[in-house]
Structure 1
């Protein structure tokens, strides 16, 4: 792999723990979070709700995380309460363009990599909905879009974290057994494509290549088998083999126990993953508390259950490998 530039190295160090593992919390949800608070409240949720929610999560959970991922729309007040930990800022608009086919992305209107860096970002994060099974005309647009962002991050010497989330082009849905069987190919295809040098991505933020509820012989299994345990372990190894880039897992909205078991499975497979960016598996169950009982009750929940959730994740991260190994180094200091 190519040598890390000073800015890229500094950014990666800033969001890692002392072991060179990225143990980051994710709190960049916007549209989905607002809808969830409103639903549990049985009324409206304002921008002020999002600001307050993010502030509480950041202040409590960064004590136990190496970094926090926030959005510049509602997360900047929280970015000043991160207990000295690293900061990743999201650059994309929440969701995707629902008026066109192919889940096309868009960037935040009044932000640029330069401005995100000036706002304190150590790293830039982009979320992209992507599947190798989409029409090539759609994927061409997305690939060119990522190339532009990669070049922008290169110009400003800041790490580029690319998160991709697969989807079902057939319209049956991502919860189906058919999609669970296809998911390993979706994840491996994404990792293979965006690990290419032309995109200038520094860290791939990936889904796990299996659907845990369809893995026979796991605690999460719900009866419909897509893979045996041995096949699931092989899917982890196959996905890893598609790239030399550092990669971390996202929690993809699953519960804390399921995400912990997922990381255990990744460890059992021998996969050299480099950490997590974990959001909803840590704080999601607190949304109802915040919506119905307010900020103070939510803070109490975070200090107990929220802390327990993130410490569970940290325990499971003992299976992770330092990202600097991907650069042929034995320590972060060796890189500069």
Structure 2
């Protein structure tokens, strides 16, 4: 791989720890977070609630993270409380268009890469629902969309993080045995596609290639087998082989113990992943406390359980490989 440009290199360094591993927290949830707070409260959740929640998560967890991922809609006040951690900003609208097939994405109306960079972003993040098994007319729209964003990030010399989340193109849901068996191909195929130079992606933010509840021989196993432990380990290796790009894992809404076991499985496979962007596995269980007991009780929870959760992740990240290795370098200094 060619050496990153000065702006991209600076952005990658800004969101990495001293080892060159991306140990980032994710707090760009919007619609799903609003619904969760409202549900726990038995009422409504306002824009102020979202801003306040994000401020507390950011101010506490960035003491233990290399960076924080926020959204420019409700997260900019939180960006002021990030304890010198790096900043990734989301560029996509929350959710997807449910009125058209294919989970098509959309960008935030009053934002651009230029504006996100001016707002302090070190890196740009995009979420894309993607499966290689989707109709080619749908995927062609998504490919062109990612190409545009890649070119915009190249123009402004800022790193582009692409998060791909798989789905069942037949509408059968993602928690089924059928989908679990298909997931390795969904993840591997997405990594192979968006690792191509034409997209300009600098870091792939990916799901793990297995559904942990279906991996026999794990603590997360629920009794229905999609893969043996040995097969699961091979799926990790196969996914890694699909790209030469740096890649990091997302926590995909699982609990902290499940995510830790997932990272342990990746380490056991020998996969050279380059970090995480971990959200709900660190702060999700605090939502009922925020909704019912208020911000102070939530802050207390974050300072105890939340910190414990993120430290569990950081411990598991000892198995991660610095991203600069993907560029053939032996240190960050070697890249400039």
TM-score, normalization by structure 1: 1.00
Query: For each residue in 1:23-65, what CA deviation from the matched residue of structure 2 results, as whole angstroms up to 9, or x when unmatched?
Result: 0000000000000000000000000000000000000000000
- Separation in 2, partners of 1:134, 1:172: 13
- Separation in 2, partners of 1:240, 1:190: 11
Q: Counterparts of 1:1-336 in structure 2 under 5 Å?
A: 1-336=1-336
Query: For each residue in 1:4-24, what CA deviation from the matched residue of structure 2 results, as whole angstroms up to 9, or x when unmatched?
Result: 100000000000000000000
Q: Which runs of 4+ in 1 moved over 6 A?
A: none
- Separation in 2, partners of 1:280, 1:3: 33
Query: For each residue in 1:87-125, what CA deviation from the matched residue of structure 2 results, as whole angstroms up to 9, or x when unmatched?
Result: 000000000001100000000000000000000000000
Residue 271 of structure 1 deviates from its aligned partner by 0.1
Residue 3 of structure 1 deviates from its aligned partner by 1.7
- Separation in 2, partners of 1:56, 1:173: 33
- Separation in 2, partners of 1:5, 1:170: 41
TM-score, normalization by structure 2: 1.00
Query: For each residue in 1:132-182, what CA deviation from the matched residue of structure 2 results, as whole angstroms up to 9, or x when unmatched?
Result: 000000000000000000000000000000000000011111000000000
Residue 2 of structure 1 deviates from its aligned partner by 1.6
> Which consecutive residues of structure 2, in runs of 5 or more, have no partner in the other structure?
none
> Which consecutive residues of structure 1, in runs of 5 or more, have no partner in the other structure?
none
Tell me the number of residue pairs that the alignment of Structure 1 and Structure 2 aligns: 336
- Separation in 2, partners of 1:26, 1:313: 13
- Separation in 2, partners of 1:90, 1:171: 26
